[in-house]
Chains A and B, each alone.
Chain A
Amino acid sequence: MLKELWKDFRSTRVGGSIFRVGLPESNLERAQAAISSFLLHLQPAKVHRRVLKFRTTLGLGLISLYLFLILVGTGVLLMFYYVPATDYAYQNMKDLEFVVTAGQVLRNMHRWAAHLMVLFVVLHMCRAFYTAAYKPPREFNWVVGVTLFLLTLGLSFTGYLLPWDQLAFWAITVGTSIAGYAPLIGQKLKFLFLGGHVVGESALIRFYVLHVIVLPVAALMLIALHLWRVRKDGGLARPDEPQPTREEMTTAQLPVTKTYGLMELARGTTPAVGIRPEDEVFAWPDLIFREILLLMATLAVVLILAIFWNAPLEQIANPVHPPNPAKAPWYFLGLQELVAYSAFWGGVVVPALLVTALVALPYLDRKRRGVGVWFSRERRVAITLFSICLAAAVILTVIGTAFRGPNWAFQVPWHPLHAVEER
């Protein structure tokens, strides 16, 4: 019945003008559906069968994208209420909680989706590493991905300040002072971010502008580039298949039962290379359907979190009364833990090395081995090194989050220490 309704709508002048192609019935129409729809054409009309397998990517990149979209949606709605001024920001949070229709749930969704996005971007990066998806020809897309990871951290960090409560104020104070440890430019950089030497009105407006315009637009453009490059670099990484040599690639030797478009004869790092026709499926409906399922699952998880757990909101920011300990946002607590040992090593050397290593990785580790295979035995060394770094980061973050009490003293989370009151 729905199908009938849809057909009726499509046959009207308006319906027909919006949707050029109806529900696809044939393969031709399936291809047309993907190509002629703005949203669907972001992915190819036909994809490799592997793409449909959940274990190929675990859907991590797509979940990150969905979280980004949820964040944009809820974020824009929140912008209708938020005023980036120290006099109003905190009161705004209270109004969202107490009088704005769906205000609290929107804020909760935004908050939890932001945390989840940091988590899923990291997981997505791990997936790309463990399946060797950064190897040629995907080196540059890996670099784009690293940039997106940094942008995600930046988005989360700038958003962290906006509620203007104690948690926000001191997390940003701690976070920006970590940046201040960089030699020569550190203090200048900190001043640039804060618009002063301490977190205040000018820091709030800077973080706000970065959070709602600069970083999201940058992220959106890079996401577009990222997706575009996935297609242009030959789709998702997959193991090499026996490729026809150049000489063999003549139409005479190709199966005559299939009609080839120009794209399918292309060479090099183009989408069709290495895909045998029988390995292809149409994106509509197999892939689209799975993608919609994943979207619903993501949305459901974010909604559940948002309904049952409120986003934190502490007392209004008080520049003269720091909490003990004052902690950066959780994804920087590994760094803060290192800074507790050595400001120079933790605040400068380690993060600089990490970013450099991530960017340089695909240019150093170039051999096409184990591409598209999880934990390939051929890449034992690389996988071990990466895993050690990852484990170290996780452990440091967990220690910084749960095992550090007042004065950064060691504590066990089930037996937290209490700060001795001064004053």
Chain B
Amino acid sequence: MTNNSLRKFYPWFALLGLLVGGLIVVAFYKDQFREWKDWQRAYIKQEISRAPTPEQRANPARIPVEIRQIVVTDLDRVDRCTSCHLTVDDPSYAGLHLPLAYHPNHDRHPFDKFGCTICHQGQGRATTREAAHGRVEHWDRPMLEMKYIQSACGKCHLPTDLPDAPKLVQGHDLFEKAGCIGCHKLHGIGGVIGPELDGVGANRTPEWLLTHFKNPSAVTPGSAMPPIKASDEELDALTLYVLSFTGEDLSAYYVSMKTIPGPMAGRRLFEEKGCLGCHSIGGIGGKVGPALDEVAKRHDPQWLMGHFKNPRAMSPGTVMPQFNFTEQETRALTEFLLSLVDTNLVGFLKISSSLSPIDRGKAVYKKFGCAGCHGVDGQGGVPNPNSKTAQQVPGLKFVAEGYTRDELKKRVLDGQKEIPLLDPKKPAPPLYMPGWRGKVAEGELNDLTDYLMSLLPKGEKADF
């Protein structure tokens, strides 16, 4: 009786039942269809076709189709790149088409310790091509273009330790030469006019950075920053270097690369331990011990290491004291001495007490990034719209004529917030002289003053 009244619903029942069932099948199919599986099957096919004998073909046929991943706990990363790039560690795939290709030079950065994305960026957990390469919405760090790949080296290494990353070194050199830290802080050191640079490499795209260097106000309207005058190649290198400021918190194992054996660490030790008291480099330093410029040509690294550990064991009767260097320090110092053999020594030591006051002052000028506004060697020419001094930051070549030493020091310490306006109706010039009190040491200030006073060209007169 009642069943008859339900009969009109039977088609609905059938339809909805089929719909729900069908949808579950669709959901399951969609879930099972993953592009990495196709890549893995292609790889297995490739392996089978490469097998020379039929018996050997059985082996690749047994390769499972499954997610491959590198879990790097220390870096808090799970990189599933090898689910498609299955042959990164198989040299026989060198030069083949992606995704099946061989990754050269990974002996020093084993995959299981580093994974992939720490250098290449992208989205390690993703298993689709677009998402993994990070070219999707809501993923801020797409894969790094290969021309910028050396920036990744700078996450763990000091640029000066890296002969294998010439681009990074070039960028670092320009960064220092252009005086970026005159206005910007990096690792807590630097000026206050511009924003801090820590983490900027993670927040900005290479294109943004490059445009910014060429014409800052194009991407940051009203920016006070002067354009950086350098060749396109140099600016690319600078972009690459700045990209390395990712602000990432890497665990000790990785950042220790910055302190363990490298010529840079050796150089710092060399300065700290006062080696120049007895030894000389480039004619600078003491005469008690031998000059070290070419010591690496006379002795092999083992000898040098042994000498650092116990000088008398290598040179009986030497007066050099035993310093009790750690193994790492010993290696760093040795690396340093080795690096001297083919290093141009001019301006080598950053600020060494054995330099002349003027040379030290020049180093101070570089250290505080004065060149950022006043130009390399105080040449000036950096635009500062609406400032009375020809709408430029004044050059420093003629300070000796306008200031006494004490006035100049006071000027550096106090700075000048209010820059006289050319046209009182227009907005104030963006750049100003920050006060360096508390930042520059007294000795540094003396040296800097000596350097600035020395800039006055002989026989020339200021034209003001």
Contact = CB atoms under 8 A, between A and B. Distances in A.
Interface in A268-302: 281-282, 285-286, 289-290, 292-293, 296-297, 299-300
B380 to A, nearest CB: 30
A105 interface: yes
Interface in A298-354: 299-300, 303-304, 306-307, 313-315
B438 to A, nearest CB: 27
Interface in B1-58: 2-3, 5-6, 9, 12-13, 16-17, 19-20, 23-24, 26-28, 30-31
A29 interface: no
Contacts of A423: 195, 203
B2 A307 contact: no
Given A99-B125, A303-B23, A315-B139, 13 more contacts: A91-B78, A99-B127, A282-B2, A285-B2, A285-B3, A285-B6, A289-B13, A292-B13, A293-B13, A300-B19, A303-B20, A304-B23, A313-B138
B358 interface: no
Report the 9 A-B pairs with minimum CB-CB distance, sorted nearest first: A296-B16, A303-B23, A94-B125, A98-B127, A314-B138, A105-B27, A300-B19, A102-B31, A300-B20
A176 interface: no
Nearest to B126: A98
Contacts of B17: 296
A281 B2 contact: yes
B239 to A, nearest CB: 18
Contacts of A95: 125
B246 interface: no
A87 interface: yes
Contacts of B139: 315
Interface in B193-211: 195, 203
Chain B interface size band reads: 20 to 34
Contacts of A101: 31
Interface in B115-144: 123, 125-128, 131, 138-140
Contacts of A289: 6, 9, 13
A296 B19 contact: yes
Nearest to A52: B5
Interface string B285-318: 0000000000000000000000000000000000
9 contacts: A95-B125, A285-B3, A285-B6, A289-B9, A293-B9, A300-B20, A304-B23, A315-B139, A315-B140
Contact of A297 (B16, B28, B80): B16
B12 A293 contact: yes
Interface in A69-111: 87, 91, 94-95, 97-99, 101-102, 104-105
A299 to B, nearest CB: 5
A99 B80 CA distance: 10
Interface in A253-270: none
Interface string A162-192: 0001100000000000000000000000000
Given A300-B16, A315-B138, A315-B139, A102 B67 contact: no
A305 to B, nearest CB: 10
B24 A303 contact: yes
A102 B28 contact: yes
Contacts of A303: 20, 23-24, 27
A286 B6 contact: yes
Contacts of B195: 423
Contact of B23 (A98, A307, A314, A315): A307
A290 B5 CA distance: 11
Nearest to B125: A94
Contacts of B140: 315
A331 to B, nearest CB: 23
A104 B16 contact: no
Interface string A105-128: 100000000000000000000000
A95 B126 CA distance: 8
Interface in B342-376: none
Nearest to B30: A307
B12 A299 contact: no
B273 to A, nearest CB: 41
Contacts of B407: none
B138 A300 contact: no
Contacts of A99: 67, 80, 125, 127
Contacts of A102: 27-28, 31
A290 B8 CA distance: 11
Contacts of A281: 2
B76 interface: yes
Nearest to A87: B76
Contacts of B138: 165-166, 313-315
A98 B30 contact: no
Contacts of A94: 123, 125-126
Contact of A105 (B5, B31, B125, B203): B31
A312 to B, nearest CB: 8
Interface in B420-456: none
B136 to A, nearest CB: 11
Given A94-B126, A101-B31, A102-B31, A290 B9 contact: yes
A354 to B, nearest CB: 35
Contacts of B26: 307
Contacts of A98: 80, 125-128, 131
B20 A296 contact: yes
A293 B2 contact: no
A286 B5 contact: yes
A314 B403 CA distance: 58
Contacts of A290: 9
B339 to A, nearest CB: 39
Contacts of B23: 300, 303-304, 307
A369 B31 CA distance: 54
Contacts of B16: 293, 296-297, 300
A188 B12 CA distance: 53
Nearest to A313: B138
Interface string A201-231: 0000000000000000000000000000000
Of the candidates A99, A297, A307, A423, the one having the most CB atoms from chain B within 10 angstroms of its own CB is: A99
Interface in A345-380: none
Contacts of B127: 98-99
Contacts of B3: 285
A105 B25 CA distance: 12
A292 B17 CA distance: 10
Contacts of A307: 23, 26-27, 30
